[in-house]
């Protein structure tokens, strides 16, 4: 029996569907208009019913298909009628409330998401395996018998873990202070423990059907793998603290599990695809690591055959083309994503952001500034960053800037600090950096030194720039000409920041040379940064950032031990500088890269020695 009820709510605006309830209760496409009208009237009532687990799987798969085909309303209409009692429908409705909350940061939407998640957790708790007081005390000494869990109880544990993770994110966003962060962290720990319980259930339980096991396994893999990958990205001090309270991270294991789940059937396999794309195309670029673009290409080739107009995957396709230096195809793909859906303007903003950087890498400063303007007009995420970035793009025009554009720069940099915001009780480091730069603009009489190229450097864009040799040569020439002028003349307008500006130019010069594969030349520029150490007034961040770049130059030259030494120096010797947390993430990822190479070399040497010994023994025996 699939359902126990006499009437079934209709799904509004979602179009005809064949799976809303059990097979015996589902309305066929041949129903008469009169029957359809009666069916629609039933939506005014909220009868009590039980949803069969396997029917809920079917509904969720249909909802996922609609969602990734940009039909969020249709997906929500499948989930909402059953959200008060059905485990998976409640989780689905919560997710579809969570997504707009994350995209908009709107407090009312965050509130609706929290209400939906609380309802989902209540339903999960009703369906989770219950223990008597004596049994609960017994589990402290002896683990429960996971083989006795029913399929519904097992899935209730999994849905509970997923809902807790989403609730933790919403709690942090709602609180916007340390209290919210602490509450959210506690929920994350509880979520992690529940996922570990789910792993044991998967290992021990005998399943009623293969379908139930398949969907459960994809969920456990997604959760545990994501935790492993995310924790492994954190700096060592944080990892040590997390390990002390029971967390652990293994990036290689996490990525292999995500790839296995991506290739396996299960309703969450598409979410594994999404997680892998986010890791390789966004997170790796942020932390300065090399993402596996081949894996991303394979995923996108597979998934775009199923969801050819999905804004989610079109954005990632544009990102892949962007990282490969295919600027025109990237802009074309982002424009396709812009036209593929109109429910969430936040996806428009994401495309604007990406196209802005593509144009900046093409040295199309005015075009880049136009997209920054669109972000300022439409997006409320960080008007400080948008304002400063637009001004930086216009200032990069130099003598080609019109009086009106100069006036715009003055206004943008005067007002950008007014939009400063706090997320989870913390100011955004990049906002604070840009506000300092805006203040320097006025201190220096309305001038900054190559502000747009500095942003390209700080956002890790130089590596992408090298795919366009003409663009790389242009940026290198601009930096060299500017550096020569600033080194040879003491400009009065720079005031007390003459050393800061010279050090910045030397740093950017070295970064550009290193990105172009010229580490020996880059080292000369980086060494020149430290010559100004006693004269720097504000830009102390340049020293640890330079140490990291020097380390990677030695890595390129084959001196891996020197690279490790310098990376440790950058991590331990410096503190209290601008954009510090960003650099610590990058140090950690680069340290992983270097140590992995050292380990591979040692393994090769060991294998070579073993082969030599074996050959010698065989030769001796033969003699």
For the segment 536-583, what is each residue's pLDDT rounded down to a tens digit? Answer: 999 999 999 999 999 999 999 999 999 999 999 999 999 999 999 899
The pLDDT value recorded for residue 140 is 53
Tell whether the model's pLDDT for residue 444 goes beyond 90. yes
What is the mean pLDDT of the segment spanning 444-471? 92
The pLDDT value recorded for residue 35 is 40
pLDDT band at 50 (very low <50, low <70, confident <90, very high): low
- E runs forming strands in 535-610: none
The pLDDT value recorded for residue 135 is 55
What is the mean pLDDT of the segment spanning 208-236? 91
What is the mean pLDDT of the segment spanning 599-603? 84
Residues 181, 175: contact at Cβ < 8 Å?
yes
Q: Could you write out the three-class secondary structure of 264-300?
A: CCCCCHHHHHHHHHHHHHHHHHHHCCCCCHHHHHHHH
Tell whether the model's pLDDT for residue 321 goes beyond 90. yes
Sorted by sequence, the CB contacts under 8 Å of residue 267 that are 6+ apart come out as: 57, 60, 61, 64, 215, 218
Of 266-275, 589-598, 599-608, the poorest mean pLDDT is in 599-608
- Give residue-wise pLDDT tens across range 124-163: 999 998 866 555 555 556 677 888 899 999 999 999 999 9
Residues 275, 258: contact at Cβ < 8 Å?
yes
Q: How far apart are CA 394 and CA 405, in angstroms?
A: 7
The pLDDT value recorded for residue 39 is 39
The pLDDT value recorded for residue 136 is 55
In sequence order, what DSSP letters do the residues of 373-396 get, joined into one string?
HHHHHH--S-HHHHHHHHHHHHHT
Tell whether the model's pLDDT for residue 42 goes beyond 70. no
Tell whether the model's pLDDT for residue 519 goes beyond 80. yes
Tell whether the model's pLDDT for residue 419 goes beyond 60. yes
Q: How far apart are CA 39 and CA 22, in angstroms?
A: 15
Q: Which residue has the higher pLDDT, 24 or 181?
A: 181
Exposure class string for 84-94: b at 16+ Cβ within 10 A, else e: ebbbbbbbbbb
The pLDDT value recorded for residue 15 is 38
**Residue 18: Cβ-neighbour burial (10 angstroms; 0-12, 13-18, 19+):** exposed
Q: How far apart are CA 373 and CA 353, in angstroms?
A: 10
- Give residue-wise pLDDT tens across range 233-278: 887 777 777 766 667 778 899 999 999 999 999 999 999 999 999 9
Owner of token pair 């598409």: 270
Owner of token pair 């249909």: 62
The pLDDT value recorded for residue 20 is 36
Tell whether the model's pLDDT for residue 200 goes beyond 60. yes
CB atoms within 10 A of CB 2: 17
pLDDT band at 365 (very low <50, low <70, confident <90, very high): very high
Q: How far apart are CA 35 and CA 31, in angstroms?
A: 6
Q: Residues in the chain, how many?
A: 623
Sorted by sequence, the CB contacts under 8 Å of residue 12 that are 6+ apart come out as: 43, 77
What is the mean pLDDT of the segment spanning 184-199? 87
- Give residue-wise pLDDT tens across range 371-411: 999 999 998 888 999 999 999 999 999 999 999 999 999 99
Q: Which residue has the higher pLDDT, 176 or 347?
A: 347
Phi and psi based region of residue 4 (left: phi greater than 0; alpha: psi -120 to 50; beta: remaining): beta
Helices (H), 142-209: 151-175, 178-204
Of 465-469, 547-551, 584-588, the poorest mean pLDDT is in 465-469
Residues 344, 102: contact at Cβ < 8 Å?
no
pLDDT band at 18 (very low <50, low <70, confident <90, very high): very low
- % pLDDT > 90, the chain: 63
Which of the given ranges, 172-186, 335-349, 569-583, has the highest pLDDT on average? 569-583
Q: Which residue has the higher pLDDT, 589 or 31?
A: 589
Phi/psi at 237 (5° precision): -60, -40
Tell whether the model's pLDDT for residue 22 goes beyond 80. no
Phi/psi at 493 (5° precision): -65, -20
Query: Can you give the pTM of this predicted structure?
Result: 0.85
Sorted by sequence, the CB contacts under 8 Å of residue 462 that are 6+ apart come out as: 456, 472, 475, 511, 512, 514, 515
What is the mean pLDDT of the segment spanning 330-346? 90
CA neighbor of 435 nearest in space, from 453, 412, 406, 452: 412
- Give residue-wise pLDDT tens across range 295-317: 999 999 999 999 999 999 999 99
What is the mean pLDDT of the segment spanning 579-606? 89
Phi and psi based region of residue 139 (left: phi greater than 0; alpha: psi -120 to 50; beta: remaining): alpha
Of 115-119, 222-226, 460-464, 612-616, the poorest mean pLDDT is in 612-616
pLDDT band at 222 (very low <50, low <70, confident <90, very high): very high
What is the mean pLDDT of the segment spanning 181-189? 77
What is the mean pLDDT of the segment spanning 72-89? 92
Of 166-170, 246-250, 365-369, 426-430, the poorest mean pLDDT is in 246-250
The pLDDT value recorded for residue 43 is 41
- Give residue-wise pLDDT tens across range 471-514: 899 999 999 999 999 998 888 899 899 999 999 999 999 999 99
Tell whether the model's pLDDT for residue 602 goes beyond 60. yes
Structural domains present in the chain: 53-130+146-208 (1.25.40), 452-610 (1.25.40.10)
**Angle, alpha carbons 546-549-552 (nearest 5°):** 155
The pLDDT value recorded for residue 615 is 65
Sorted by sequence, the CB contacts under 8 Å of residue 482 that are 6+ apart come out as: 449, 450, 505
**Angle, alpha carbons 456-412-390 (nearest 5°):** 30
Average model confidence (pLDDT) across the chain: 85
Q: Which residue has the higher pLDDT, 544 or 16?
A: 544
The pLDDT value recorded for residue 122 is 95
Residues 255, 279: contact at Cβ < 8 Å?
yes
**Separation of first and last alpha carbons in the chain:** 78
């Amino acid at each position: 029996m699939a359902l126990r009820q006499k009437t079934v709510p209709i799904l509004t605006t979602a179009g005809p569907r064949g799976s809303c309830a059990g097979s015996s209760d589902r309305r066929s496409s041949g129903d008469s208009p009169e029957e359809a009208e009666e069916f629609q009237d039933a939506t005014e009532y909220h009868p009590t019913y039980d949803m069969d687990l396997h029917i809920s799987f079917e509904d969720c798969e249909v909802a996922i298909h609609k969602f990734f085909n940009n039909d969020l309303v249709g997906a929500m209409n499948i989930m909402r009628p059953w959200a008060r009692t059905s485990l998976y429908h409640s989780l689905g409705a919560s997710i579809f409330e969570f997504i707009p909350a994350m995209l908009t940061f709107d407090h009312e939407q965050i509130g609706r998401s929290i209400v939906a998640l609380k309802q989902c957790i209540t339903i999960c708790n009703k369906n989770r395996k219950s223990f008597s007081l004596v049994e609960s005390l017994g589990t402290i000494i002896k683990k429960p018998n996971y083989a006795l869990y029913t399929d519904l109880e097992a899935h209730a544990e999994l849905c509970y873990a997923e809902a807790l993770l989403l609730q933790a994110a919403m709690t942090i966003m709602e609180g916007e202070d340390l209290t919210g962060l602490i509450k959210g962290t506690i929920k994350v720990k509880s979520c992690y423990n529940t996922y570990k319980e789910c792993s044991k259930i998967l290992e021990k339980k005998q399943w009623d059907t293969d379908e139930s096991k398949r969907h459960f396994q994809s969920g456990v893999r997604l959760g545990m793998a994501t935790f492993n990958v995310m924790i492994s990205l954190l700096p060592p001090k944080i990892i040590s603290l997390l390990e002390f309270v029971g967390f652990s991270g293994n990036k290689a294991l996490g990525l292999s599990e995500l790839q296995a789940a991506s290739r396996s059937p299960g309703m969450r396999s598409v979410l594994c695809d999404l997680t892998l794309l986010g890791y390789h195309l966004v997170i790796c670029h942020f932390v300065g690591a090399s993402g596996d673009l081949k894996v991303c290409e394979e995923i996108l080739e597979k998934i775009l055959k199923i969801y050819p107009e999905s804004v989610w995957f079109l954005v990632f396709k544009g990102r892949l083309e962007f990282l490969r230096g295919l600027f025109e195809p990237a802009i074309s793909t982002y424009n396709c994503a812009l036209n593929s859906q109109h429910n969430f303007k936040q996806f428009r903003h994401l495309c604007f952001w990406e196209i802005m950087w593509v144009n900046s890498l093409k040295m199309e400063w005015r075009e880049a500034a136009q997209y920054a303007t669109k972000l300022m007009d439409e997006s409320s995420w960080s008007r400080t960053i948008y304002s400063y970035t637009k001004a930086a793009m216009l200032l990069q025009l130099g003598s080609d800037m019109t009086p009106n554009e100069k006036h715009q720069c003055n206004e943008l940099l005067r007002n950008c600090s007014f939009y400063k915001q706090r997320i989870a009780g913390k100011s955004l480091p990049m906002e604070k950096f840009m506000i300092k730069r805006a203040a320097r603009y006025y201190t220096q009489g309305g001038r900054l030194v190559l502000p747009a190229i500095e942003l390209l450097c700080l956002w890790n864009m130089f590596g992408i720039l090298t795919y366009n040799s003409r663009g790389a040569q242009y940026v290198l020439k601009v930096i060299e000409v500017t550096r020569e002028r600033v080194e040879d003349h003491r400009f009065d307008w720079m005031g007390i920041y003459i050393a800061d500006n010279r050090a910045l130019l030397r740093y950017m010069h070295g970064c550009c040379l290193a990105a172009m594969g010229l580490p020996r030349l880059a080292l000369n520029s980086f060494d020149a940064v430290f010559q100004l150490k006693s004269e720097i007034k504000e830009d102390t961040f340049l020293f640890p950032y330079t140490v990291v770049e020097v380390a990677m130059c030695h890595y390129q030259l084959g001196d891996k031990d020197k690279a490790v030494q310098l990376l440790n120096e950058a991590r331990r010797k410096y503190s209290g500088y601008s954009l510090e947390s960003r650099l610590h993430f990058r140090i950690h990822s680069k340290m992983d890269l270097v140590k992995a190479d050292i380990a591979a070399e040692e393994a090769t040497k060991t294998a070579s020695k073993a082969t030599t010994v074996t050959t010698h023994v065989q030769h001796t025996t033969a003699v």
